[in-house]
Structure 1
Amino acid sequence: MTKSQVTFLDLIRGLAAQLVLIGHVTSVSGHELKVTIQDLGVVLFFFLSGFLITTTAMKKDSFTEYFIDRFSRIFTAYAPCLCFILVVGLVLGLGGPTDPGTFFANLFMLQDYPLHVIGLKPFERLGTGQPLWSVAMEWWFYMGFGALFFMRKLPIWSLPFIAVGIYATSLQAVGGVLAFFWGVGAVAAVMLPRLPKVWWFSLAVFFSVLCLQRYRLATGQTPGLSQFYDLRLGLLMAAALFSGFKAVEGWTLPEWVHRASAGLASYSFTLYLTHLTVLEALHGLNGWVKVVSVFVVANLVAIAMYFAFERHHRTVREWIKSVTIAKAAKV
């Protein structure tokens, strides 16, 4: 990817997290928007996740290397954010299950999956961590995808992760559309480098116009579901998104745009994980005071969590690699 393409993806990722935050805070403050932009943010996350994870996997030599990379990237932020949700919830009495069983179920990414097939009740999301459903879903997408991508050289220790991953992925592919959107992003990662230079910017505009038209048609056609989970709208959104990605390939952007986009994207994951806890913590506020206060505090909390934990994920990755290499050498 060129520098401008990286900036384009950073900008989309950062804005997606802000859309989720704004959509949620306005929906409970008396200023609910007509467009469920929080669902738009989630869909964008899944497109980008499929694209970026596939791009990453193509650079890895083994499932072990892929697993270490994904584990360090996710859990360096995820585990501290779980603790944040737990502690804030207990101190402020925010509600939601905070018992040890729920905490460890969420730590092991088991929340929301229907375990009745083996005689267990589904594990709930921890405390006020309602967005945790999608994090667990995405983690098991990673495992299921890794099983397929590295199927010829899978280590024995990976089999439990892969079994759950394939189960979760197949479940969501049947019960929802996010797995499909993730797969669209994965296909784009394989196809885009092979496509010729054409009028990509014009195509991006064309598909964006079609998205607006399809959004209007999808309104009211999917009772109980957001329009953004409409399959045809999703395909048009993906076409617009990745056409834009190709369009900016040769662009030269000011350095401040690169820095601002990278900064906005850097803490998007922690913002997604913690914003509803901040929203619940400030439940006593109302109106636009609540909207502005939650927006500012949620961003500040996420930035602090990023600097304290998430930005160290590469250090964690290298430490895990050094430990596993040392153990392998001893064997």
Structure 2
Amino acid sequence: MNTEHKFVWLDFVRGLSAIAVCAGHLRAATIVDYAELGRGNLLQQAFYVATGLGHQSVMVFFVLSGFFVGGSVLRSGENFNGGRYALARLSRLWVVLLPALLLTAVVGQVLASMAPEVLSGGYKPIWNSGPVDATEYSSSWRTLLGNLLFLQTILTPVFGINGPLWSLANEFWYYVLFPLCSIAIGWSVRREAATIVPRVLTGALAIAILYWLPKDIRDAYSIWLMGLVVYFSRGRLSPTVRRIVMVVGLVAFAASLGYSKSDTLQERLGWPSDPIIGLCFCVLCVALANLPMPKNMNSMFVKLSHGMSTFSYSLYLSHFPLVALIGALGYGTTRLRPDVFGLLQFTGWLALLLAVGGVFWWLFERKTDEVRRFVAGLPKRYLRAS
């Protein structure tokens, strides 16, 4: 089993977070807002809570990414290789991103023909995602290239209708920034190359990139870096301390989610909710990362957690164009109430989106290592050919 997947609970959280993002977008497109429902029953209230944490789940992704990706850089230490790292990160991103952009383009053509009001921003107030107006929607070659180079929200809009692509720009630039910072500090550089000039230049480049990035991306970098706290905590907690941290983390994380949903509290205190969610999840994540591995690594829970984590990226990139298609062509502005009939439809659509995410993984993401090995072997093939 891959070293990453020894962290079974983090696998579970990562998979659950991707499903939460998908479910939140689907609910906005198919089920009426809670304000329109009036006073719902306990089941309905639980449904709205469970499907209302999409943005918060992205903050969870950032912390987990800092732990896994930042941790891999730190583990490399003096053996860090920029070329291998770049190949690993880019193959991981592009193998799924390319077909997701193609799916987005196809769905965009269908919507342009059958529901053009979606592309002109008519559904933004209802779905809380997608283009604000016709000037924001873009499926041009320039926007496509910008998204392939992870410049969406920086120099170009997200491509087409696929609003969740915004976070991919954050991730990519954090992948770039952290190794630069690590080299500048001296964590990831060979001793013979640890002279002051290269480290100063590398640090200056990191500062320049931070200055160039938009404020939203810059601010969220601190959330990504919280994953390093989790990394450094591994194996350092006694069982008693771990239990205390677990309780504190669960209470704090639940409180942070509540805070993120309270406009009144945020206006009164003036604290942005995203870093608070990141910090509180970081505490919980410290406890989860220090849990011992399950005795039975073939248990249903371990297999479920591993599977959910494995296809989470494919689900994240593929779901929203299909949600837009379902919402625009199936429901329009007349959405369902969360009664038995409405919840059954919602569950059916969610199952379909999860299945598509699984197909995306099977067709593309599972071949990431194969693509990586092929690209890594190109120089040797070229030398043999010449």
TM-score, normalised to structure 2, is 0.72
2:182 pairs, out of 143, 149, 167, with 149
CA distance in 1, matches of 2:274, 2:139: 34
For the pair 1:132 / 2:165, whether they are aligned, the reply is: yes
Question: 1:217 and 1:97, CA in 2 relative to 1: closer, same or farther beyond 3 A?
Answer: closer
**Structure label with greater radius of gyration:** 2
For the pair 1:201 / 2:274, whether they are aligned, the reply is: no
1:52 pairs, out of 30, 47, 68, with 68
CA distance in 2, matches of 1:172, 1:249: 40
Counterpart for residue 309 of structure 1:
364
CA distance in 1, matches of 2:249, 2:57: 18
Give the counterpart letter for 1:195 in structure 2.
R
Superposed displacement of residue 259, structure 1? 1.6
- CA deviation vs aligned residue, 1:171-204 (integer Å, no higher than 9, x gap): 4566664211100002322x12362424213321
1:86 pairs, out of 91, 102, 105, with 105
1:249 pairs, out of 257, 275, 292, with 292
Q: Residue 279 of structure 1: SS of its match in structure 2?
A: helix
For the pair 1:99 / 2:140, whether they are aligned, the reply is: yes
Give the counterpart letter for 1:206 in structure 2.
V
- CA deviation vs aligned residue, 1:217-246 (integer Å, no higher than 9, x gap): 5623335xxx98343343122101221221
Superposed displacement of residue 292, structure 1? 2.5
CA distance in 1, matches of 2:56, 2:100: 23
Q: Assess if the C-alpha contact under 8 Å between 1:270 and 1:302 holds in 2.
A: yes
- CA deviation vs aligned residue, 1:39-71 (integer Å, no higher than 9, x gap): 221111101100000222223631111111111
Q: Assess if the C-alpha contact under 8 Å between 1:66 and 1:146 holds in 2.
A: no
Q: Residue 162 of structure 2: SS of its match in structure 1?
A: coil
Give the counterpart letter for 2:65 in structure 1.
S
**Greater CA drift, 200-209 or 282-291:** 282-291
For the pair 1:66 / 2:92, whether they are aligned, the reply is: no
Q: Assess if the C-alpha contact under 8 Å between 1:53 and 1:186 holds in 2.
A: no
Q: Assess if the C-alpha contact under 8 Å between 2:62 and 2:223 holds in 1.
A: yes
1:178 pairs, out of 220, 223, 227, with 220
Give the counterpart letter for 1:80 in structure 2.
P
Q: Residue 225 of structure 2: SS of its match in structure 1?
A: helix
Question: 1:140 and 1:325, CA in 2 relative to 1: closer, same or farther beyond 3 A?
Answer: farther
CA distance in 2, matches of 1:315, 1:175: 31
CA distance in 2, matches of 1:166, 1:69: 24
Superposed displacement of residue 329, structure 1? 9.4
Q: Assess if the C-alpha contact under 8 Å between 2:56 and 2:257 holds in 1.
A: no
Q: Residue 32 of structure 2: SS of its match in structure 1?
A: coil
Q: Assess if the C-alpha contact under 8 Å between 1:4 and 1:258 holds in 2.
A: no
CA distance in 1, matches of 2:374, 2:215: 35
CA distance in 2, matches of 1:175, 1:30: 31
Question: Please, which runs of 5 or more residues in structure 2 have no aligned partner?
Answer: 35-47, 113-117, 120-136, 337-341
Root-mean-square deviation (Å): 3.4
| Amino-acid identity (%) | 21
Q: Assess if the C-alpha contact under 8 Å between 1:141 and 1:169 holds in 2.
A: no
Question: 1:208 and 1:292, CA in 2 relative to 1: closer, same or farther beyond 3 A?
Answer: same
Q: Assess if the C-alpha contact under 8 Å between 1:137 and 1:169 holds in 2.
A: no
CA distance in 1, matches of 2:180, 2:287: 29
Superposed displacement of residue 164, structure 1? 8.7
Q: Residue 234 of structure 2: SS of its match in structure 1?
A: helix
2:347 pairs, out of 292, 315, 318, with 292
Counterpart for residue 231 of structure 1:
275
Give the counterpart letter for 1:84 in structure 2.
L
TM-score, normalised to structure 1, is 0.83
Q: Residue 18 of structure 1: SS of its match in structure 2?
A: helix
Q: Assess if the C-alpha contact under 8 Å between 1:50 and 1:186 holds in 2.
A: yes
- CA deviation vs aligned residue, 1:114-169 (integer Å, no higher than 9, x gap): xxxxxxxx411111110111001111110111222345579x9xx9xx95996258
Question: Please, which runs of 5 or more residues in structure 1 have no aligned partner?
Answer: 114-121
**Greater CA drift, 289-298 or 18-27:** 289-298
Counterpart for residue 40 of structure 1:
56
Give the counterpart letter for 1:108 in structure 2.
L
CA distance in 2, matches of 1:297, 1:111: 28
Q: Assess if the C-alpha contact under 8 Å between 1:72 and 1:316 holds in 2.
A: yes
CA distance in 2, matches of 1:168, 1:25: 34
CA distance in 2, matches of 1:310, 1:133: 20
